Every structure is written in structure tokens, then in C-alpha cells.
Structure 1
Amino acid sequence: MVISEMDAAQVAAYFRGKNILITGATGFLGKVLLEKILRIQPDVTRLFLLVRATDDESARQRVQTEVTGREIFQVLREKHGKGFEDFIEEKVCPLAGDVMYEDFGLDTAKLKEVSKVVDIIVNGAATTNFYERYDVSFDTNVLGAKQICALANKCTKLKMLLHVSTATYVVNKRD
């Protein structure tokens, strides 16, 4: 399916004024999604990024190092110049947590804040390490999706829950 310019404009317009929770933002697709949203719809209200970290400051550092500090954000960096960091700080809210835990391990105040404002949840959190222990893969890829759904039920303004998977399996049959 090819998305026409009209459809792309409608998608961009849909994000205007929305609060979006993204899991897996430090992964390949998460970085691309975050950059694209910030570039084509700078009027998004807030992007909450769930990041595995011990506290919000560690989460902020991880986002800065592994996400917004990467080359993919160069166009935005050039567009905003010296105001790039302020723009990111205004739009991006790193959350220390993990999809494996109930309520992502967020404290009560943070959970209440997020669940009151989130319009869209994009779940891109997963382990794609094919050599990972099965229990670790199961906790992240299966129980994580369950926790996403549980949190989604608490979000009073939720309009969309999108689950994304980066793992694609292809079978090549040779005769």
C-alpha cells in the first residue's frame, strides 16, 4: 500500500495536539518514529518515552545519548539550531520504567499524570535478540504486551493503541 500525500498530511494532522506514549523508543523503529513525529508534526503536545532506567534522570540521559543525540535527528538539530535541546525538552518526557512490570513500574503520581493525558500508545518494545533466554523474551514480548493493554485500559483519553513488531520471519523454500 502506498500512502498518498493527502493521507500523509492527514496522519500528520492527527498527531497535532496529541500526547503519545511510545515504548521501544531506543530501538531502531522507535527512533525513526520519534524523529518523524517531531519533524512533521512539531505541534504534538508531548511524547512520553518509556525507557529502561533506574530513575527519570537516567532515562533522560539514555534518551539523549541513544536517541536524540543520534544522526537521524540532524535535520531537526539544524532546523532548531541552538533551540534544539529546548524543543526536545518541551516535547519529550522520558519515563523510567519497563513494560514487563505492572503499570510499567511507574510511581503513582507519574502513572496518574500519564493515564489522564495520553491519547495514543505506540508499543514498539521488544527483544529481537534471537539468542535471548526464552523467559526473558517471553517477559518482554508477551507479558509486556499484556501490561501495555492493562495500562491502556487506565488511559481515560486513549484513542489509539498501536502495536509494532520489528521481527519479521521469512521462509525461503528451495526446490
Structure 2
Amino acid sequence: MAMIGEMDADSVVGYFRNKSILITGSTGFLGKVLVEKILRVQPDVKKLFLLIRAPNVESAKLRLQTEVTAKEIFQLLKKKHGVGFENFIEEKICPLAGDIMHEDFGLDSAQLRALCKDIDIIVNGAATTNFSERYDAAFDVNVLGAKNVCAFANKCTKLKMLLHVSTGVKQ
């Protein structure tokens, strides 16, 4: 596995070319920034699979549109692609209805098999950042969710990198 500290910005951009990346937490602040940045600086990324907490794929697509790609940060990409923006997003982003709280994210076995064969990189950014959250709820998301991501990563046959983004601890 490559270490980000060993790479300069150009090699990071090049590293994402033709890679399939699973991102959790894409509807959060850092997640949106990451998705936009990858699509803007490396349009040759193969696919971004965004795990979105939703009961079905239609709801996941709606959350993607309203909470991610409709945001101001995507204006540069919208300007660059013009009327082709929606097609570009549809080609590059695959929303997955699931939750890190569930084993295998709650994905069905066919989805899971296909995903495990395709994923090169996992970025786990899903977490609760509400520091007044009940301890057990925060523990479930921030600890058990990370454990589920690691268990999923172990099933990915061509995984090259797992990046875990953690929330800070408020004293």
C-alpha cells in the first residue's frame, strides 16, 4: 500500500487515474470536498462509489443530488462541463444505498461481489461529528462502523489503499 506522505500532489492526482474509489461520508463536509476535488483534478478516475445512508438507490441518488452535487463547491465542475455536467456525474459516480453500521454495509450479495472485485481505494470518512451525541451512538458509528469498513476492505481483491479519516475528541 502506498503512503500519502510519500507522494507529491502530482503523483496523488496520477494515482487516482483509472481507479475505482469507495467513499463513505460523502454527504459530510469533507466528503463533498473530496468528491469534488477528485472529479475536478482527475476526471479520468474510473468510478466513485459513494456509500450513502438511504433506504434504497432512488433515495441515495436524491441525497447525492441535493446534499453533494447541488452544493456551491461544484460550480467549477458545472461551468467546465456545462450541459454535460449531469452526464459526467452519472458516468463517474455510483451512489450505493447502505450504511457502515451494517455488516457489508447492508448491500446485497451481487452488489457486494461486484464491488469487492472493482475497488482500488477506500476512503472512510463516515463518522458522527456531533460531540453532544450519546456515547453509545457515537461509539457505534465511529468505532463499529470503522470495524465494518475494515472487514469489507479485507474482501476487496485489488485494494491498494484504505484511508481512514477520524473525528477529533472533544475533552
Report how far residue 115 of structure 1 moved: 0.5
Give the distance between the partners of 1:166 and 1:87, measured in 2 at CA.
31
Q: SS of 2:166's equivalent? A: coil
Q: CA deviation at 1:166?
A: 3.8
SS at match of 2:133: coil
Shift of 1:134: 1.5
Letter in 1 for 2:140: D
In structure 1, the partner of 2:60 is 59
What residue in structure 2 maps to residue 106 of structure 1? 107
- Structure-2 residue corresponding to 1:78: 79
RMSD over aligned Cα atoms: 1.4
Residue by residue over 1:150-171, the C-alpha shift from the partner in whole angstroms, topping out at 9 and shown as x without a partner, is: 00000001000000124365x7
Aligned to 1:90: 91
Distance 2:69 2:146 in 1: 25
Aligned residue pairs: how many?
Answer: 166
Aligned residue in 2 for 1:116? 117
| Aligned counterparts, 1:151-166, within 5 A | 151-166=152-167
TM-score, normalised by the number of residues in structure 2? 0.94
Q: Deviations over 1:125-173 (max 9, x none)?
A: 000111112221111000001000000000001000000124365x7xx
Question: What secondary structure sits across from 2:123 in the alignment?
Answer: strand
Q: Structure 1 residue runs of 4+, over 6 Å off? A: none
| Contact map agreement 1:103 1:147 (CA 8 A) in 2 | yes
For structure 1, the 5+ residue unaligned runs are none
Conservation of the 8 A alpha-carbon contact between 1:127 and 1:137: yes
> Could you tell me how far apart the structure 1 residues matched to 2:163 and 2:26 are?
14
Residue aligned with 1:65, SS: helix
CA distance in 2, matches of 1:19, 1:30: 16
**Aligned to 2:8, what secondary structure does the other structure show?**
helix
Match of 1:45 in 2: 46
Equivalent residue number for residue 26 of structure 1: 27
**Deviation of 1:54 (Å):** 0.2
- Structure 2 unaligned runs (5+)? none
In 1: Cα distance, 2:168 partner to 2:129 partner: 6
Residues 106 and 37 of structure 1: CA distance in aligned 2, closer, same or farther (over 3 Å)? same
Q: Is the 8 A contact 1:119 1:157 kept in 2?
A: yes
Identity over aligned pairs, percent: 71
Counterpart in the other structure of 1:128: 129
CA distance in 1, matches of 2:92, 2:151: 25
Shift of 1:124: 0.2
Structure with higher Rg: it is: 1
Give the aligned residue type for 1:82: V
Q: Which residue of 2 aligns with 1:142?
A: 143
- SS in structure 2 of the partner of residue 154 of structure 1: coil
